[in-house]
Amino acid sequence: MRMTSARLHRVELNPGKISRMSGLHDLVVLNLPAKNAKAMRTAFKVIWEAIRCSREGKILWGEIDDFLQRIEREQGRVPEVTNVALCKARKLMRKAGYIEYRDLHWRFSKRAASALRSLADKADLLQEVLDPAEQGKALHELMYEL
């Protein structure tokens, strides 16, 4: 995927991917599946955790460095993240709709939060359906609702 494209970032979903998602790492791999995207995946996780761990759920861009220093103090090592990877990951997260820039702060998008919540609920519904024909019908309805 070229980062200069003006189109929105789309994530391909199918029943296998939905059922295997268990946490942040799986979400990151869904968004950045390339083998050579290790730095971008780490940057994606750092931005996500920095916003999640902030007091008000929003951060200034300069607070990322403070977050990395806090990780180094707590864990004794800091993730290998360049400023370029952080900027590219931020751009991808913004295009995908995970984060937004409001009032000089970066924060999680309400649209993305509700979409992820509904995706998790629908994945649970797909897990409960045992008949393959019903599962196919439920998956078909899920794809057209997204």
Instruction: Provide the sign of the torsion angle of the four alpha carbons 21, 86, 113, 9, taken in this order.
Output: negative
For residue 51, being part of any structural domain is answered with: yes
For residue 21, being part of any structural domain is answered with: yes
The pTM of the full predicted model, rounded to 2 decimals, is 0.69
For residue 88, being part of any structural domain is answered with: yes
Start-end of H helices in the chain: 15-20, 24-31, 38-53, 63-75, 83-96, 110-128, 132-145
Q: pLDDT (tens digit, 9 = 90+) per residue, 23-54? A: 778 888 888 888 888 889 999 999 999 998 88
Q: pLDDT (tens digit, 9 = 90+) per residue, 78-116? A: 778 889 999 999 999 898 888 999 989 999 888 777 766
For residue 35, being part of any structural domain is answered with: yes
What is the span of the domain harbouring residue 41? 15-108
For residue 125, being part of any structural domain is answered with: no
For residue 10, being part of any structural domain is answered with: no
**Total number of domains in the chain:** 1
For residue 124, being part of any structural domain is answered with: no
For residue 37, being part of any structural domain is answered with: yes
**Inter-axis angle of helices 110-128 and 132-145, nearest 10:** 170
